[in-house]
Structure formats: C-alpha cells, structure tokens
C-alpha cells in the first residue's frame, strides 16, 4: 500500500470518527502493533539465518521487507494521530 492510499484511509477514518461511526485510535494501540511487527521481524531474521534454501530465503526477505514497510506506516500513523 502506498503512502497516498494510507493517507486516503486515514482521511476516511477521520470522517467516520467525526460522524461517530468509529472509535478513536489510541497511540497505545499503534505502539502495540509496532511491537508485534518488530517481534515478527526478529523471528523472520532468525529463520533467515537458519535457512539454506535460496527460494525460502527470498520469500523470507520479501516478508521482512513488507514488515518494515508496515512498521514505517505505523510509525507515521503514530506521529499523525499524536499531532491531532
């Protein structure tokens, strides 16, 4: 998901929030997600180090890249909701 899509989703969330159709996202919720993503990344890094098959290494590297992108978006969201 690109940053533009993330921003659109955030705008939609704020519209639902102002209409009373959504609950406020708390920074603790986002922090919890970030912790879970980082824990998953550590597991994958360990798995990557123990794997010898190249195709599996490639798959794990793609997963790690995806997790890093998700962490980046979550940190952006945390900053954004903190400013609101």
- Mean pLDDT per block of 10 residues along the chain (84 residues) reads 68 82 84 93 96 96 93 88 74
Contacts of 80 (CB under 8 A, 6+ apart): 10
Residue 73 located in a structural domain:
yes
| pLDDT score of 68 | 94
- Between CA 2 and CA 27 the distance in angstroms is 22
Tokens standing for residue 32: 């919890």
| pLDDT score of 2 | 58
Residue 9 located in a structural domain:
no
Q: Which domain holds residue 29?
A: 25-83
The DSSP output letter for 21 is S
Counting the structural domains of the chain, the total is 1
Half-sphere exposure of 72 (CA within 13 A, CB side): 10
Residue 49 located in a structural domain:
yes
Among candidate residues 1, 25, 3, the one with its CA nearest the CA of residue 13: 25
Both ends of the chain: CA-CA distance in Å? 23
């Amino acid at each position: 998901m690109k940053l533009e899509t993330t921003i659109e989703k955030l705008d939609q969330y704020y519209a639902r929030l102002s209409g009373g159709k959504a609950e406020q996202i708390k920074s603790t919720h986002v922090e919890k997600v970030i912790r879970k993503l980082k824990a998953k990344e550590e597991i994958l890094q360990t798995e990557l180090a123990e794997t010898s098959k190249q195709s599996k290494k490639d798959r794990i590297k793609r997963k790690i890249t995806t997790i890093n992108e998700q962490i980046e978006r979550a940190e952006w969201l945390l900053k954004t909701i903190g400013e609101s």
